Structure 1
Amino acid sequence: MLLLVFVALQFYRPEKNTSQGNHASVFIAETNPPKSVKTILTETCYDCHSNNTAYPWYNNVAPFSYWLSDHVNEGKEHLNFSDWDNYSIKQIDHKLEELIEEVSKGEMPLNSYKWMHKSARLSQQQIDSIVSWAEQTRILYQLGKQPI
């Protein structure tokens, strides 16, 4: 019976989180991260915090596909770089505050993501650069200035 359920799950997969075009263009244009920070965000954050996930091969196998889908959906609930233009200034301030806190504590990226993505294992220098950029960007938003 368990084998039947496993086989059936292979045919009913969750919807993939993919989009066409530059899904984070508003976020990038508005916050203007340095190239090094932009690279880190692209390689370590966008899979779970944007509308476009680069799926690993094992996403084609249930139950991993369901597990990944849940992670992506939960990540986007907290922060979605692709929806940046839909956030109020107050929400942006809170998102940046959480980003600073989670990255500083080593809570993000998740350990389960780092296990499979070596580039997501951030050095202290990378953490410091993300936090510094996010703090500066947050201040600009608080002052009512666009970070560009």
Structure 2
Amino acid sequence: MIKKILSALLAILFVIQLIRPEKNVSDSVSVNDISAKYEVPEDVHLILKKACTDCHSNNTVYPWYANIQPVAWYLDDHIQDGKKHFDMSEFLAYEPWRAHHKLEELEEEVEENKMPLEDYVRIHEEADLTSDEKSKLIAWSRGVRAEMAADSTLDLTRPEKKK
């Protein structure tokens, strides 16, 4: 009986290896990428790359274990959730008020040590940002928000919620 159960479990594990989520990897930079309109200095780019882009862009760098199910499903869910909250690759597609607010949230999350996530840092030690890196990231975000606020073509007023 135990042999049949183990065989069935092995068969299930084998079959689920064939069901893979689409990888979050793009061959090119999106036309809506934040860098298409706003300057991202090299030092900030490196900070974003090591601590943010895996979950908040179209260019995840997958670890070896992302090829094993059900781990790949978990990672895919995590990436999709991260992009739902803030997606640097689709930043220019946000309405201006929302883009401005997303950067404000980025600042708050970094200041309050909520980002990068503790689970992510546990596996990706390089993503554990120093105080200096956090300050640079926040200063850059504030600079972009100031640039947005100074752009008279952008309406940063949040529309009233419909009843």
Shared fold by TM > 0.5?
yes
User: What amino acid does structure 2 have at the position aligned with 1:110?
Assistant: L
Q: Which runs of 5+ in 1 are unaligned?
A: none
What residue ranges of structure 2 are gaps of 5+ in the alignment?
Answer: 1-7, 154-163
Post-superposition CA distance 1:67-126 (Å, at most 9, x none): 100010001111111112211210111110110011111111111111121210100110
**1:63 lines up with 2:63 in the alignment:** no
Larger RCO, structures 1/2 (Cα 8 Å, 6+ apart) = 1
8 Å Cα contact 1:23-1:50 kept in structure 2? no
Matches within 5 A, 1:101-140: 101-140=108-147
Distance 1:20 1:116 in 2: 26
Tell me the percent identity.
Answer: 37
Do the aligned residues in 1 keep the contact of 2:56 with 2:82 (CA within 8 Å)?
Answer: yes
SS where residue 62 of structure 2 aligns? coil
Question: Structure 2 length normalisation: TM-score?
Answer: 0.82
Deviation string 1:38-68 (CA, Å, 9 cap, x unpaired) is 1111221111111121100000111110110
Residues 79-88 or 18-27, more deviating: 18-27
Give the 3 Å change call, closer, same or farther, for CA 94–88 of structure 1 in structure 2: same
Larger Rg: 2
Q: Which runs of 4+ in 1 moved over 4 A?
A: none
1:24–1:50 contact (8 Å) kept in structure 2: no
The structure that is helix-richer by fraction is 1
Secondary structure of 2:17's counterpart equals: helix
RMSD: 1.8
- Give the number of equivalent residue pairs: 146
